[in-house]
Amino acid sequence: MRLLLLLIVAVNVGLFAYGQGFFGVPPSQEGRSPARLSQLNAERIVLGEPVLSAHDRR
């Protein structure tokens, strides 16, 4: 019974490490290129006046 518990814990730790990217690129980031995503339509971004909350207006 103890062996089964240790096996389950070891598999759980291994899957967590894989999901966080300890063995390479995390599965959630495969196929993405973050540098390119930040450049798409950069010229269309327009910054306006900051919006103040009620707390900041006092």
Domain extents in the chain = 1-30
pLDDT (tens digit, 0 to 9) for every residue of the chain, 58 residues total?
Answer: 999 999 999 999 999 998 888 888 777 777 666 666 566 677 777 888 888 887 776 6
User: What region does 52 belong to: left with phi over 0, alpha with psi -120 to 50, or beta?
Assistant: beta
Farthest CA pair distance, the chain: 64
Q: Which pTM value belongs to this model?
A: 0.47
d(CA 39, CA 56): 32
pLDDT digits (tens, 9 = 90+) for 15-29: 999 888 888 877 777
| CB proximity list for 26: less than 8 A, separation 6 or greater | 19, 20
- The CA distance from 34 to 23, in Å, is 20
